[in-house]
Amino acid sequence: MKRSPALLSAIVLIGLLAIAQTKTGTRDQGEINNLAICFEDAWNRHDIQTLSALVAEAVDFITVGGGWLKNRKEFEEHHARTHQVQFKESVLTIKKSHIKFIRPDIATAHVEWAMKGDKDPDGTPRQPRQGIFTWVVEKQNGKWLIIAAHNTNLRGLLSPAGTGQPYGHRTVDSC
């Protein structure tokens, strides 16, 4: 059976595009994971300017307490204020990110976190806690930014499917 050179070329081209898309997806997934690590780092250094640079100018950010921050300026002002007392001694640990691409330039990230050392607004120490961010991230000018976020505390520990082990007892992936 004789094969057309055009058909063979099309098959090779489709294969190369699939490989390129996989490499891009893997690189972008790594960049989104890095966004979460950068969030942790800026939080723990209480560097509100760097933290704010991780969100888009027009971010919609729902805080763990239910406050709705409607842009980067509100995000920065809120975190500058809360890091003076409530989060001054807090330590945020990003545990794992689960990423799903909606388009090549937009993804959701469910980011599991743990926190210790934070306080109630009146200064009363809190117990260590865990939660999940739901982020919508967008690649803008070659950089992944958080365009929407919702933060929530967990009431109990989650268990990875089928393991029966709570997340609090697993080994965290290295960064």
Question: Looking at the domain 5-169, which fold is it?
Answer: Nuclear Transport Factor 2; Chain: A, (3.10.450)
> Helix/strand/coil (H, E, C) string of the chain?
CCCCHHHHHHHHHHHHHHHHHHHHHHHHHHHHHHHHHHHHHHHHHCCHHHHHCCEEEEEEEECCCCCEECCHHHHHHHHHHHCCCCCCCCEEEEEEEEEEEEECCEEEEEEEEEEECCECCCCCECCCEEEEEEEEEEEECCEEEEEEEEEEECCCCCCCCCCCCCHHHCCCCCC
Q: Compute the CA torsion angle 113, 27, 145, 96 (nearest 10 deg).
A: -10
Domain layout of the chain by residue ranges: 5-169
* pLDDT score, position 172: 40
Percentage above 90 pLDDT, the chain: 71
Span 8-19, pLDDT tens digits: 665 655 654 445
pLDDT at residue 6 in the model: 66
Residue pair 164/133 in contact (Cβ under 8 Å)? The answer is no
Output the CA angle 170-99-63, nearest 5 degrees. 85
pLDDT digits (tens, 9 = 90+) for 121-171: 899 999 999 999 999 999 999 999 999 999 999 986 555 554 444 444 444
- pLDDT of res. 157: 57
